Each structure stands twice: as C-alpha cells, then as structure tokens.
Amino acid sequence: MTALPLVFDAPRRGMPPRHLADLTAAERAAAVVELGEKPFRAKQLSHHYFSRLTVDPAEMTDIPAASRERLVAELMPSLLTEVRAVSCDEGATRKTLWRAHDGTLLESVLMRYPDRATLCISSQAGCGMACPFCATGQGGLDRNLSAAEIVDQVRAAAVVMRDGLMPGPQGRLSNIVFMGMGEPLANYRRVLDAVRRITAPTPEGLGISQRSVTVSTVGLAPAIRRLADEGLQVRLAVSLHTPDDELRDTLVPVNNRWPVAKVLDAARYYLDRTGRRVSIEYALIKDMNDQPWRADLLAERLREHLGHLVHVNVIPLNPTPGSKWDASPKPVEREFVRRVNAGGVACTVRDTRGQEIAAACGQLAGESVPS
C-alpha cells in the first residue's frame, strides 16, 4: 500500500471569501481601515460576532447604518447555510448538515449532558485518510475548511445553547472536539487559527477554555510534535484503533508512513511539552480489533510509551449502511475494557449518541449528495 503524503494545507479550491474569524485582532483593524473605517470598528464587529454571536447588521446599532451593511458584507460574509438539523436522545443530541458557499457539505453534532454541552466539529469537508470503516473516509476529501468555517460551526452551536433551542434551560457551550469530518492535523494552519479564535477571550474570540478543546488525529506524527510546540493547552486524542502495525496498516492507512511506535512517541512528546493527559480513541470492531490479546498489547504499548497519563476511550462502532464493519458484542467489549484496565491503563466506553440520526460523521452528508 502506498504511503500517504503529509499535507498540512491543501490548495484553496473553493475556499470562502475573507471573514473576520480568519483574522487576528491586528488584521481585523487593518481590514476595516482598508474599507475606509476607523480601526475601532474592528472591535465593534468582533463584539457582535464573538460576544453577541450575531451576524445580522440590523442588530449592530452601535455602528452607523451607512457603514454596517458594507462592513458585514466584506468581513462577515455568509459561510454556512443550515440544510438540515435532526435530533435524537430526547433532543439532547442535535446533528446539523451545513452547506458552504460553494455547495460543499459538512456536519457538526451538538451533545448536551447534565454537566456540559459538547460540540463535535468538522475541520475538512470529507477526509483523505481513507480509513475503511469510517463514513467520511469512504467519501474521500473534498477540501479543507477555512478557519472561519470551523469557528462558525461553534458560533452557531453557542447560539443554540444560549437561545434554549435544545431541551433544558438556556446554557453555554462548554466543550469542543475536533472529531467531525476530516483529519484536523492535515489542515494544520487553519485548525490552529480556529483553535486560537475559539479560545481567545471575548471579544477577540469565543472565550472557550483551551483545556476544554480536544484535537483528534489518526497519527500524523510530525504535526503532533508541531502542535506540542505551539504553547497551547488543548487535549490531544489519537485514533489508534489497534496496537499492532500489521492491522493498523489496513485500518488506518497513514500508519504505513508513521507506524504505532512513532505515533506514540510523538504523543509522549506532546504529553511532556504540555503536561496534558493523552486520549487514545479505539473503535471496537467485531472480529477485527477486539481480541483479548490486542487489549493486552494495547495496555503494554501505552504503558511503555505514555506511562499513566493516558486514557483509552473505547468507541462502539457506529456502522454505516451496507458496511461489512460492525460493533463488537457487549460481552466482548466488556472483556476488552477489563483487560486494558487490568493492564494498568485507564479505559472506559464512550457514551454513544445519535445512532438513529446517522451520527457517524459523513453519513448525513452522504445521504444528501445527489446520486
């Protein structure tokens, strides 16, 4: 199997026009000056977008009417249009299908829990990592998302929580996970910009704690090391799915370039640089990666590379229609978790949400693509 190239930034095919959320505070000020406005207008626009969560010029009454339409048109162009929103789990899970300016489809999933509200966001439209059990991977990569397209998913979910559009009282979006469509570290620069916008204090950004943001990767080892040196406190999640290279070469084709040992060494570097515990994602697939010996080997390899600052999230596979891949039976799942824990590594089963609404990322978009 041919090794996949490391691509941090794909060509700007179909990328949207410039948006406030793509820019730093200094760049925003320069942009409004280019438009013939005073620099402080940038802070006003930032307040409306990041603090008030609005893109409606009619609500921006602190900006002269003659200026606001032009400023919004130039610096807050419409990025995402809601195509469909479906809910389940008694309304506690809400999946949204978005259409970008060029027709590109992407998805986000908002999950409300008693103590938090977590948004799973996409960093690419589609994915180029070609993992055969993943709905997004089956469709291939369409394009990278811009930083603003990533941030706008978060802003929209924050509005849902603030305005009480899910069951329960009005609330606040608290956690962000880059576990939607795409490989975040293959869109490195824009994902990093988005993380900085999401976590910067208002009105420079959305004010979500860095420690409440998780960036997931299938194991682009150089990019993991690069992220470790950014001075951030986001959590790293590595989608490992099996501890042995022989199977991982098939399940996660990028393993041909960066095998398990290199990925775990990079994860150790991240742990050492940030002090943050690493999460290991393990989609449990019937008769594929759920054998007891693989549980034992997983615990052994994680102890060797990461010590005790690691946690395994076992994920019951959410099968896609017509797929040969299926979730492991519950007794097999329980034994797998027991053995990893017995091997000295913390391991739990992730709460599954949204199976009846095609919540595996890529399914809703796939259903919406004309045949």
d(CA 242, CA 348): 16
Instruction: Mention every residue, 6+ apart, whose C-beta is less than 8 A from residue 337.
Output: 295, 314, 347, 348, 349
> Catalytic annotation on 246?
no
Q: Which of 120, 134, 347, 361 is catalytic?
A: 361
Strands 175-178 and 213-217: parallel
Any idea what the Cα angle at residue 182 is, between residues 177 and 186, rounded to 5°?
100
Q: Which two tokens stand for residue 349?
A: 């089963």
Q: How is residue 5 written in tokens? A: 């190239």
Q: Residue 282 is encoded by which pair of tokens? A: 């393990």
229 and 267 Cβ atoms separated by less than 8 Å? no
Q: Tell me which DSSP letter residue 123 carries.
A: S
Instruction: Assess contact for 241 and 282: CB atoms under 8 A.
Output: yes
How far is 72 from 60, CA to CA, in rounded Å? 10
Q: Which among 342, 359, 168 is positioned nearest to 350, based on CA atoms?
A: 359
- Which residue in 107, 149, 183, 281 is the catalytic one? 107
Main-chain phi, psi angles of 83, to 5 degrees? -90, -45
Amino acid at 327: A
Is 82 one of the catalytic residues?
A: no
Tokens linked to 218: 């299938």
Number of helices (H) and strands (E) in the chain: give both, helices first: 12, 12
CA dist 93 and 157 (Å) reads 12
Q: Are strands 346-349 and 105-113 parallel, antiparallel or unpaired?
A: unpaired
Catalytic residues: 107, 361
